[in-house]
Amino acid sequence: MNRSKRLFPGDERLCQPVPLTRRRLLGHSAAAAATAAAAMMPTTATSALASLSGSRDPRLLVVVLRGALDGLAAVPPMGDPHYADLRGEFNLTADAVLPLDNLFALNANMPNLAQLYRQKDAAIVHAAATSYRSRSHFDGQDILESGLPRAGGDSGWLNRATLNLASSSRVKPPQGVAIGHAPPLIMQGEAPVLTWSPQFYPHPDADTLGRILALYDDQDSGLAEVLRAGISADASDTGERLNLQSANKLFLREIDKTIAFFSDPDGPRIAALSSDGWDTHAGQNPVKGKLANKLSVLDKGIARMAKGLEPIWQDTVIAIVTEFGRTAAINGTAGTDHGTGTCAFLLGGAVKGGQVFADWPGLAPKALHEGRDLAPTTHINGVFKGILRDHFGLEAKALDGSIFPGSDTVSPLNGLVG
């Protein structure tokens, strides 16, 4: 077992002691590692400078997969000797995966993500979790989104991060956009946030819009401004009406709109998007089941993001995260139940891709959390902190203060972005 104390030998920013001594970097072939090490110093220095001088225009999209993604099905640890036993007949075999390295593979329903990974535009964090150790979706999402150790907070870390960026940015507020009727917790808070969701009803005609707006201008200028923002966000939309039942189409539409927001020179730079339906207690057949379909749609979305954001890809980080993982073993209904450790996906030109960040705990019976779940070894807030620090140049004072209050024991994960 490689127990390197540094993620990137040769990365000068990482010469500070890294407290998580067991952390190691997986997924690098020797050759790739050598190339990376050689290339690292100059690029890192340049991008660090650039971010300080403000010449970059960084964007961050956080996608929350609600319902708890089964990280062991999405990024199966094929090299772990206990994996096949736990998964029984739903074990992913070599023909159902895309190998990433000698331990991890990617579910074969995600070829586009695999491609990005090979291009070093995608990375994976595995055996990650929040600090939450129970199994309620509500509380789990609450904690993931608030960034706090306990459920019940009334603002989200992404909103608090947006607030910290507000003074330093050229973009006029709102800098944040939440895809949905109302901001999800991750985007709630003091920073003003735009909301948008796809058109369900037919577009109103311009005459009616004008007459309604006139009433607001006369009677309530505050509401008029909010309504105007809503009308303007919808104006450039395709106008294709949605079937409420078609969650997949909805998700892809939402991605298209997020791309449009990020591509707008004056548009928001921070976005939150959700995808529902990851609670796979049943029907987890990896080849044709519900989870396979979900992963396939997510992968289509990922391809769309990469294509649509191409002109600004170097400025983009996309973090795809979930509230917790699922049980290591398959249950009696061909699915998995609520668990703990899981994986997260990072995409974008700004991501140091082609790597799996994991302090792999293994799947031996004794290694499982409470005897049933993938044990979490990486705090997801450390991932978020690493992104906010290296992508936006936010400092420890803000990260440990207002954004993740009292989180100084959770170090930013190094080497994710740059």
Residue 166, token pair as written in the block = 């507000």
Confirm or reject binding of residue 202 to another protein (CB under 8 A): yes
Give the nearest distance from C-beta 231 to another protein in angstroms.
Answer: 6
Q: Binder to another protein among 55, 95, 201, 265 (CB under 8 A)?
A: 201
Give the nearest distance from C-beta 234 to another protein in angstroms.
Answer: 6
Give the nearest distance from C-beta 413 to another protein in angstroms.
Answer: 29
Residue ranges in 135-164 that form contacts with another protein under rule CB under 8 A: 136, 138, 142, 152
Nearer to another protein, 182 or 396 (CB): 182
Which of the ranges 39-47, 108-116, 180-188, 350-358 carries the binding residues for another protein, by CB under 8 A?
A: 180-188
Give the relative orientation of helices 137-146 and 157-166 as an angle to the nearest 10 degrees.
Answer: 20
Nearer to another protein, 150 or 397 (CB): 150
Nearer to another protein, 102 or 134 (CB): 134
Q: Binder to another protein among 101, 234, 263, 405 (CB under 8 A)?
A: 234
Confirm or reject binding of residue 243 to another protein (CB under 8 A): no
The strand pair at 342-347 and 316-322 is best described as antiparallel
Residue ranges in 302-341 that form contacts with another protein under rule CB under 8 A: 333-334
Nearer to another protein, 35 or 333 (CB): 333
Confirm or reject binding of residue 203 to another protein (CB under 8 A): yes
Confirm or reject binding of residue 227 to another protein (CB under 8 A): yes
Nearer to another protein, 47 or 199 (CB): 199
* CB of 68 closer than 8 Å to CB of 278: yes
Residue 59, token pair as written in the block = 């964007």
Separation between Cα atoms, residue 246 and residue 1, nearest integer Å: 46
Which of the ranges 3-11, 230-238, 306-314, 343-351 carries the binding residues for another protein, by CB under 8 A?
A: 230-238
Residue ranges in 207-226 that form contacts with another protein under rule CB under 8 A: 207-209, 211-212, 214-216, 218-220, 223, 226
Q: Binder to another protein among 181, 240, 265, 366 (CB under 8 A)?
A: 181
Q: Binder to another protein among 204, 239, 311, 406 (CB under 8 A)?
A: 204
Give the nearest distance from C-beta 55 to another protein in angstroms.
Answer: 30
* CB of 74 closer than 8 Å to CB of 295: yes
Give the nearest distance from C-beta 349 to another protein in angstroms.
Answer: 29
Residue ranges in 110-139 that form contacts with another protein under rule CB under 8 A: 136, 138
Confirm or reject binding of residue 244 to another protein (CB under 8 A): yes
List residues near another protein by CB under 8 A: 136, 138, 142, 152, 180-183, 193-197, 199-204, 207-209, 211-212, 214-216, 218-220, 223, 226-227, 229-231, 233-234, 244, 282-283, 285, 289-290, 333-334
